Chain A
Amino acid sequence: MTTASSTKNPIADRQARLSVLLTPVLGGSTESVRASTFSDNLRFVVEPDQLHAALTVLRDHGGFHFLSEVGATDYLKYPQPSLTGRRFEVHYLLLNQLTTERVILKVGVDDGPDPVLPSVVSLWPGANWMEREVFDMFGIRFEGHPDLRRILMPDEFTSFPLRKDYPLRGRGERHNFPRLTRDQS
């Protein structure tokens, strides 16, 4: 009752359909669309400057009206190179609420003093807090975000704790609180 399937494999079918949709914004040729599958996941890899256009196409013409997650990964010292070849990988999980299809867009962000990506709050207002969380944990700045503040960690926190070069036990931030003793309290 959903989309007519031309092949036995619905993932391959979805990949074929969405590749056609994404080809114009990803460079125009079929080779420029980089996709991979795992289980029932379908991932497309895009460049930061293509991100906004690709998400817009998927939202407006692919039926993926719902942005269900924005997350990030730090591939520092990972045994294999990441799908994007860069240190950080931000992923956008889109959901088609009519057909319950999902698609993942992955975009790589280079290491550096100020990793930056375009914000998608203009497409989905719900991306606001998700981008703030990615910023809080990884320090990836989202250009165009209306209110890019920390969301989980305290405001005075200075590090980005989910980066792989951040020590698991922190850098002693938590030891700076005043200590109350019996004499003082």
Chain B
Amino acid sequence: MALEPAVRPITATASPVVLGNNARQLSQAGGVDLPEGIQVTTLDAAVNWCRKYSLWPMPFATACCGIELMAVGASRFDISRFGAEVMRFSPRQCDLMIVAGRVVMKMLPVLQRIWLQMPEPKWCISMGACACTGGVFDTYAVVQGVDRFLPVDVYIPGCPPRPEQILRSLMDMQDKIQRGGRLNGTALPEQLIKERMLDAARNLSAGSLSERGDEARFGYRLPGGAASVGSPRSNP
């Protein structure tokens, strides 16, 4: 059945992800005549479409990455073009945590508490080398990647990342929200599976002294061989 000319421009101009195949299938194969101004989609897609353009970030800025994050909020890069300019310093009002900078071990309970205080649905961006991996701060005091203790959705490499990278990660985040979100949650199914695997690997008993040898259980291994703490390298 041929579509009414008044219907086709509506589906064509709307976001292809939102209206996607559902609208086209319904209107084409189902034989439904849509009046002007009516769009057909799933509720999930419509809600996610609203969510992804109204992210309220929680800037957990602990270091120099926070300065870049401020630059993204300023006029030159202007994060409000993506609907995410409403930085809120109360976790109750936020749904996107941006961990910008290194997180020390003493700070980690605070970070986790803030994450738990954020209302669902919520997402997390790990920004910069330190938040993602610990960066150059490979010591006892610094958390070697906040994803060991928090569910992270998007990682941004860089030290610190360019503002363009942050905008790109925001677009990735929006894409992920559009594709993966559910009405009552945030997660992609494959991400849940991955997190369960990581969690099982992490719950292996920790070695007390040879931490370097145990790092494979976190999914990475550092060059340099066995630790030589306590004796100089030149004098093995």
Q: What is A's interface to B at a CB cutoff of 8 Å?
A: 76-77, 79, 153-154, 161, 164-183, 185
Q: Which residue of B has the minimal Cβ distance to A163?
A: B230
Bound together, the chains give a CA A182 to CA B206 distance in angstroms of 23
State how many residues of chain B have any CB contact under 8 Å with chain A. Answer: 39
Interface of B is mostly: loop
- Chain A residues whose C-beta falls within 8 Å of the C-beta of B144 in the assembled complex: 174
For this complex, 24 residue pairs linking A to B, each with C-beta atoms less than 8 Å apart, are A77-B232, A153-B106, A161-B141, A164-B230, A166-B229, A167-B209, A167-B230, A168-B138, A170-B139, A171-B140, A171-B209, A173-B140, A174-B140, A175-B148, A176-B206, A177-B108, A179-B148, A180-B116, A180-B150, A180-B151, A181-B195, A182-B186, A183-B192, A185-B116
Lowest 8 CB-CB distances: which A-B pairs, in order? A170-B140, A172-B206, A167-B229, A174-B105, A182-B187, A182-B151, A165-B230, A169-B211
- Chain A residues whose C-beta falls within 8 Å of the C-beta of B192 in the assembled complex: 182-183
**Which residue of the partner chain, among B138, B151, B208, B227, contacts A185 with CB atoms under 8 Å?**
B151
Cβ of B231 under 8 Å from chain A: yes
A182 near B230 with CB under 8 A, answer no
- Chain B residues whose C-beta falls within 8 Å of the C-beta of A175 in the assembled complex: 148, 202, 206
B151 near A168 with CB under 8 A, answer no
Given known contacts A172-B211, A173-B105, A177-B149, what 17 new A-B pairs fall within 8 Å (CB)?
A: A154-B106, A161-B141, A164-B229, A167-B209, A167-B227, A168-B138, A168-B227, A169-B139, A171-B140, A172-B214, A174-B108, A174-B144, A175-B202, A176-B206, A180-B149, A180-B151, A182-B195
Cβ of B98 under 8 Å from chain A: no
| Interchain nearest-CB distance for B223 vs A (Å) | 14
Q: Which residue of B has the minimal Cβ distance to A78?
A: B232
Cβ of B112 under 8 Å from chain A: yes
Cβ of B115 under 8 Å from chain A: yes
Q: What is B's interface to A at a CB cutoff of 8 Å?
A: 105-106, 108-109, 112, 115-116, 122, 138-141, 143-144, 148-151, 185-187, 191-192, 195-196, 199, 202, 206-209, 211-212, 214, 227, 229-232
Bound together, the chains give a CA A167 to CA B209 distance in angstroms of 8
- Chain A residues whose C-beta falls within 8 Å of the C-beta of B140 in the assembled complex: 161, 166-171, 173-174
B139 near A168 with CB under 8 A, answer yes
**Which residue of the partner chain, among A154, A178, A185, contacts B105 with CB atoms under 8 Å?**
A154
Bound together, the chains give a CA A177 to CA B116 distance in angstroms of 14
B115 near A180 with CB under 8 A, answer yes
Bound together, the chains give a CA A106 to CA B186 distance in angstroms of 59
Bound together, the chains give a CA A168 to CA B232 distance in angstroms of 13
Bound together, the chains give a CA A79 to CA B235 distance in angstroms of 10
**Which residue of the partner chain, among B105, B141, B207, B231, contacts A77 with CB atoms under 8 Å?**
B231
| Interchain nearest-CB distance for B180 vs A (Å) | 11
A172 near B115 with CB under 8 A, answer no
B115 near A185 with CB under 8 A, answer yes
A178 near B112 with CB under 8 A, answer yes
Bound together, the chains give a CA A76 to CA B108 distance in angstroms of 32
| Interchain nearest-CB distance for B179 vs A (Å) | 16
| Interchain nearest-CB distance for B178 vs A (Å) | 18
